[in-house]
Structure 1
Amino acid sequence: MVLICCLIKRNFSSNQIIYFWKKKSLNHKTVQDFLRNHGHLAIKRYSYSDIKKMTNFFRDKLGEGGFGGVYKGKLKDGCLVAVKVLKESRGNGEEFINEVASISRTSHVNIVCLMGFCFEGSKRALIYEFMPNGSLEKFIHNKSPSKVARRLEWETLHNIAIGIARGLEYLHRGCSTRILHFDIKPHNILLDENFSPKISDFGLAKICTREESIISMLGARGTAGYIAPEVFCRNIGGVSHKADVYSYGMMVFEIVGGRRNIDVEIDRTSEIFFPHWIYKRLEQNEDLGLQGLMNEDDYKSARKMIIVSLWCIQTNPLCRPPMSTVVNMLEGSLESLQVPPKPYLSSPSRSPEDSSTMVSTQCDSIMPSNASFF
């Protein structure tokens, strides 16, 4: 014991030790305060012993992420679940609180159902309904030749895009409070036995009032490649629900292309960034070069998804349609859609006010007359 104390004293100053225990205590208190203030949550609380039993002591691992691991489990009634066990070192409990607070407010066919949680000392876990087909990612990203991903039919892909759009529309406008997800990507879209999509992983979500159009944020949040430009470059515009629209557009491009948007393995630099490459094809009315297009309906579905995605990733957030308009565009006719201006990843050269006016006018002249951007 003396030796251990000496080693601790040698490696940590007294201030560091005090800070460590204060931080750990603060993390625990943050979550405890949240649970006490939300005692009305209609979600069952489980002990860590329950978690070990339902996962058969974490025998069947479904996946791993920065947050921790996901394990297959079974409740006492035989219902299959996915148990997300959070790492002890994850922030100050914000991710745990975000997930419980966000999903407990939702009830939608395209939002994953949270069935319970565990908060016991440093142990935190979230219990979700089990999705037999896993994440969307494995059906569109195929790197290893030995693990050939199953390419879904275009009708299924189109329906998945519509389902995700409906889920986001619900989060943005259907709840009593607006929920911004901030991490829309294929990995966070789960598929049930019928390949119906469900939005999951609300660890980075922000909850705001429905009247709150612009939110304040400290630092960027999200996954590289899907983050809207205004999230890390504020002179482009304010951060709002349009950040999710951008992420959605980048994700649908990957659904269409069957590859990551930025593919460093491609030799020709003109094809590295898929959205720019496909825009050029549309502009010049060239063959889209997509896999599995079997008939005219497949071609129309693919083209609609591409055009909608191009609208969603417009640099200026005012130029992106809300998810309600996205749903209408995907469900409508291809003939009613027009190709938007080419999206650029750099910020506008003019001031935000001038740039917004310029781009919004351009968008209004191209979009259908019944479309709304707010």
Structure 2
Amino acid sequence: MLCISHRIISLFCNKSCHFTFICNTFSISSQYSRKKKIITGKPYRTEEELAQKFIDHKLIKVYAGKGGDGRSSFLREKNRPMGGPDGGNGGNGGNVVFVADSNMKSLEKLSPLYQADDGIDGGGYNCFGKNGKDKFVKFPVGTYFRCEDGSVVEDLVKHGDEFVAAYGGLGGKGNRFFVTNTETVPEECTPGQPGDARVFVAELRTLAHAGLIGFPNAGKSTLLRILTRARPQVGDYQFTTLRPHVGILHFEDFTQIAIADIPGIIEGAHKNQGLGLTFLRHIERCRFFIFLLDLSEPDPWQHLQTLRKELSEYEKVLSERPSIYVANKLDLPEAKEHLLDFTNQFKTEFGEDKKLVLLSGKYGQNLEELIHTIRYFYDEDIRVNQMHGMTSPMRW
């Protein structure tokens, strides 16, 4: 303080030292100040970059730990020269355990190889070896595992579900284990058993209550952005969405309905044409479907028939699930021209059993009607599950 006050006084006394005072003050302040770190948000990534990061199937090899060897040992002490056998058993090998974690959304960061720790060998003085540490591997909820022959061995459908993928080998026995009335000084000991070695194909299927199904550029991403806080890329060209997106529709009673935006399905998708099977697997777990149709196309009714056929050809059960039918893009002149013919064909095919929601996703026309319909299907699904003994509904 004394030094700074002296400089201030000298400033008013001598104008010539004005520049020197400013330079010295700046050097002192910069010496004791620290630069503030600029916290930036997540780097922006395009839909193509995110699609490369989204991996929904992966080949994984797991090796459980080997059991520790048993020990053949005899006790020798000063006052006990013939103490007898004291070889301990080896520890068991560690297991490889798969765990479902709701915080993971992709198989991107998973390694292709996981190995648990081996058990420790037994020691003298009846010391047992330490068991190998289990290896826990986290997977997204909705991951199921296939063996090399294609059979499904496990399905992780809830947060916290566990599956022991490979069991560790048992530890060997020390010679203390083989002591009997007739054999008091055995020298026999056994080695530890090897752990399991298995190969799995992990495949991820998106978990959601409702699945948006439609041809490319039908307005699925636009509708998902309106209903939820999800922000999939939107464009006026086909195949804008290259990976599934999931958004949450919130209600005042704290009910949350997960809606999945499945990338566009084309004719022949069940034969793996286009990106067929890559996306069809993600709709298998949806409780009900929302068919979104573009009325501005020349033949929207044919689009609906094609979508239903693709689901039936891929898995017949999918075509029988509850569905909501939405006619989108009513704000376009072409859609108004096709509206009458489409509604007549819809009533002729389904009668009054199915409800058609007319919508303009761009301007939010009849959006409230669609929200009430989604809630009705959600409540009806819970009611049906409770009738079959499923008291806890699927929660996101």
TM-score bracket for this pair, using the shorter chain length: under 0.3
Q: Name whichever structure is richer in helix by fraction.
A: 1
Q: Name whichever structure is richer in strand by fraction.
A: 2
- Which structure has the bigger radius of gyration? 2
